[in-house]
Amino acid sequence: MATTQHSGDDVPSREPLVLFTEEEPGVGRFTVSLDEEDFRFEVAVRGDTIELEYVETLSYRGQIRVSEPRDEVYDVLTASDEFQSFVEVKS
């Protein structure tokens, strides 16, 4: 079995990726993959209110963090087609 190892400088940067799963009507989970980390959020739409809760960050090295992500991550999430479609349909 072949394995690939990357040092921090060898990892190519990729465009941010946003994944979405609807847990139940009006409640969804979003994952923003950015800079070799996955940032997880839960979003609930209740009437005219959108509740956005940060859950955790998973690094490509297997570390889990729960400190608030930087503003860029929120910007990527809220500007994504997946997020816009979810809140538009529910509100």
Low-confidence ranges of the chain (pLDDT < 70): 1-13, 90-91
pLDDT score, position 1: 36
Assigned domain for 11 exists: no
Assigned domain for 10 exists: no
Global pTM reads 0.80
Assigned domain for 5 exists: no
Assigned domain for 9 exists: no
Assigned domain for 1 exists: no
Parent domain of 71? 17-90
Assigned domain for 30 exists: yes
Assigned domain for 6 exists: no
Please count the structural domains in the chain.
1
Bridge-partner residues for 51, per DSSP? Answer: 44
- Burial, 58: exposed, middle or buried (Cβ in 10 Å; 0-12, 13-18, 19+)? middle
The sheet carrying 64-65 orders its strands as: 17-24, 27-34, 37-46, 49-59, 64-65
